[in-house]
């Protein structure tokens, strides 16, 4: 190959922080009969097994209340895998090899004897590290987290002071508290029995390839990072829109609402990654320190400002795109007079040197026109001379869009001359798409996160101070809403982009939402 050819070759650069080997261990899933186990956890473990990434030996114990045999549990999971696996069809022979690792332990979460039975199972494992290295996955209601941990501690299954080389860790599903006060209480209750370093608070957005890529994109490319500040960025839009309504999750959603369900965690995590300063290293604490610093630099909204800077909404029956769909109040397990928000749009400012004065607009909602998540970095317009002087606002400003899902990719929008004898300018795009560059393979977020949990890498999990900082931003919004009922202007038809007030929110800053594009 000539010299130039070598330079142009696309070489992977594997980072030194690449995977640590996972040691033999057992994963105990509390809530083994639940939706999360069947939809996400088992399919993720099955794929890790197919890829040869699980430790050897490795066991999974499902803990749940209903009486059933190991085989009955395996059969249920196999049936669910047929529906939820990202690869189809499921290979029965390879499933059998995986299923041999699964065992079921019947027990009530509040029954001390059940934990003793679990301990008996674990102590019977050979080699000893299989039973002594333990990952406990709490896929149960948050009100049960502290109780489960107390029982595990009483049964000697988790110790705050680990005995190396053995380890015990706990994965906690969201929601982590209902507000800052309850998150603090929960943190205090959990850290009574486990050290902070043993607690892995999950936010599955951090396991998404495209979300992880935000840091790679920012800090391995000189050209973009130079543009990443108030000098060039006009504003940033973060949209996580979902086409389905709440469906069968009405009961949970009545307690949560869009602010707690999405903004407190997924959207703030994405915002933190987009806006944080470069960490001093790729070590977990260095990355998490920067995220916390960023969250702490977001200006909390005073309750009195909420009406001005936050828009909430709830979907009502409407046609929008496609067929008529029910309104939120008609969904199962939803109060017929519910005032729970299914849509939030808001404006935050980040009070630091890099971002002072740059609005961050964030929105999320159910029953919107399409499911898509993206971050749009909207650059400042050109000075009002030459083309801008003639075209006025019709001259598009440059924008960089990080499309998180689906049709993952990155697009840079700039202006070009339309070929022809006239002088016409119009926006064009330069696009990178994951599927055309890397092929269709994208592991599920839970695969990455489970593997990190088994290996003890906390980088993609949420630290205690991070959770509390996020609640500190969300709590005043809820306080600002108080108990006020939704007003007619806050309802939006299914299949629309939310209440009109969401447009007014941006219009006040001279901006407009750019909706994610459907991609055929």
Contacts with ligand BG6 by CB under 6 A lie at: 242, 261
In angstroms, what is the minimal distance from the CB of 333 to ligand BG6? 14
Beta strands in 9-69 (DSSP E): 25-30, 58-64
Nearer to ligand BG6, 199 or 258 (CB): 258
Does residue 8 sit in helix, strand or coil? helix
Closest CA relative to residue 307, chosen from 494, 479, 515, 470: 479
In angstroms, what is the minimal distance from the CB of 244 to ligand BG6? 8
Nearer to ligand BG6, 342 or 496 (CB): 342
Do the Cβ atoms of 137 and 97 come closer than 8 Å?
Answer: no
In angstroms, what is the minimal distance from the CB of 174 to ligand BG6? 6
Nearer to ligand BG6, 182 or 296 (CB): 182
Nearer to ligand BG6, 242 or 341 (CB): 242
Residue whose C-beta lies closest to ligand BG6 = 261
In angstroms, what is the minimal distance from the CB of 49 to ligand BG6? 22
Which of 151, 193, 235, 266 is catalytic? The answer is 266
For 158, which DSSP code? Answer: -
The CA-atom distances, in angstroms, between 197 and each of 105, 284, 457 are 27, 11, 10
CA angle, corner 277, sides to 173 and 270, nearest 5? 35
Nearer to ligand BG6, 63 or 176 (CB): 176
Token pair in block for residue 357: 């004065």
Q: What are phi and psi of 292, to 5 degrees?
A: -65, -40
In angstroms, what is the minimal distance from the CB of 261 to ligand BG6? 5
Active site residue 266: yes
In angstroms, what is the minimal distance from the CB of 334 to ligand BG6? 14
- Residues β-bridged to residue 172: 138, 201
In angstroms, what is the minimal distance from the CB of 366 to ligand BG6? 7
- Residues β-bridged to residue 207: none
Do the Cβ atoms of 206 and 449 come closer than 8 Å?
Answer: yes
Long-range contacts of 473-476 (CB under 8 A, 24+ apart): 473/264, 473/268, 473/295, 473/298, 473/300, 473/301, 473/348, 474/179, 474/259, 474/260, 474/263, 474/264, 474/268, 475/179, 475/180, 476/300, 476/301, 476/302, 476/303, 476/306
In angstroms, what is the minimal distance from the CB of 242 to ligand BG6? 6
Nearer to ligand BG6, 198 or 405 (CB): 405
Report the b/e string of 275-301 with b at 16+ CB within 10 A: bbeebeeeebeebbbbbbebbebbeeb
Distant-in-sequence, close-in-space partners of 89: CB < 8 Å, separation ≥ 6: 82
Nearer to ligand BG6, 235 or 260 (CB): 260
- Ramachandran area for residue 280 (φ above 0: left; ψ -120 to 50: alpha; else beta): alpha
Nearer to ligand BG6, 242 or 452 (CB): 242
Closest CA relative to residue 469, chosen from 276, 215, 239, 241: 276
Do the Cβ atoms of 349 and 358 come closer than 8 Å?
Answer: yes
**Residues noted as catalytic:** 266
């Amino acid at each position: 190959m000539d010299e130039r050819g070598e330079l142009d070759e696309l070489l992977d650069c594997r980072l030194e922080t690449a995977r640590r080997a996972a040691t033999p261990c057992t994963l105990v899933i509390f809530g083994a009969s639940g939706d999360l186990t069947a939809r996400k956890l088992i399919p993720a473990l099955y794929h890790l097994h197919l890829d040869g990434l699980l430790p050897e030996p490795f066991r999974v114990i499902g803990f749940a209340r209903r009486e059933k045999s190991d085989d009955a549990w395996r059969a249920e999971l196999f049936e669910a895998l047929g529906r939820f696996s990202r690869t189809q069809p499921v290979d029965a022979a390879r499933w059998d090899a995986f299923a041999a690792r699964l065992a079921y332990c019947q027990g009530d979460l509040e029954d001390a004897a059940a934990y003793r039975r679990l301990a008996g199972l674990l102590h019977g494992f050979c080699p000893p590290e299989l039973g002594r290295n333990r990952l406990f996955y709490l896929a149960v209601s948050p009100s049960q987290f502290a109780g489960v941990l107390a029982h595990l501690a009483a049964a000697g299954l988790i110790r705050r002071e680990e005995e190396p080389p053995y380890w015990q860790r706990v994965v906690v599903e969201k929601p982590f508290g209902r507000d800052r006060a309850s998150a603090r209480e929960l943190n205090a209750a959990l850290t009574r029995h486990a050290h902070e370093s043993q607690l892995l608070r999950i936010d599955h957005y951090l396991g998404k390839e495209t979300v992880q890529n935000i840091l790679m994109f920012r800090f391995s490319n000189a050209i973009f990072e130079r543009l990443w500040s108030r000098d060039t960025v006009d504003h940033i839009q973060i949209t996580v829109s979902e086409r389905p309504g709440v469906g069968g999750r009405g009961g949970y959603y009545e307690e949560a609402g869009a602010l707690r369900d999405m903004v407190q965690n997924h959207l703030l995590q994405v915002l933190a990654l987009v806006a944080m300063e470069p960490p001093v290293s790729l070590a977990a604490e260095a990355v998490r320190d920067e995220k916390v610093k960023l969250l702490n630099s977001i200006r909390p909204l005073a309750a009195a400002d909420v009406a001005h800077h936050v828009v909430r909404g709830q979907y009502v029956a409407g046609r929008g795109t496609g067929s008529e769909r029910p309104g939120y109040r008609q969904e199962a397990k939803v109060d017929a007079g519910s005032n729970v928000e299914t849509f939030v749009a808001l404006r935050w400012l980040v009070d630091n040197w890099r971002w002072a004065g740059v609005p961050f607009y964030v929105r999320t909602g159910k029953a919107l026109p399409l499911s898509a998540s993206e971050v749009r970095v909207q650059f400042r317009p050109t000075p009002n001379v030459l083309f801008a002087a003639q075209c006025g606002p019709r001259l598009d400003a440059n924008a960089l869009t990080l499309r998180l899902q689906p049709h993952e990719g990155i697009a840079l929008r700039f202006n070009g001359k339309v070929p022809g004898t006239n002088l016409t300018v119009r926006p064009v795009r330069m696009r990178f798409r994951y599927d055309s560059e890397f092929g269709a393979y994208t592991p599920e977020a839970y695969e990455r996160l489970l593997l990190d949990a088994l290996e003890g890498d906390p980088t993609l999990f949420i630290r205690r101070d991070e959770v509390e900082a996020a609640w500190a931003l969300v709590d005043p919004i809820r306080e600002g809403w108080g108990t006020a009922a939704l007003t007619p202007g806050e309802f939006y038809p299914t299949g629309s982009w939310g209440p009109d007030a969401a447009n007014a929110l941006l219009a006040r800053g001279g901006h407009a939402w750019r909706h994610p594009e459907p991609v055929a």
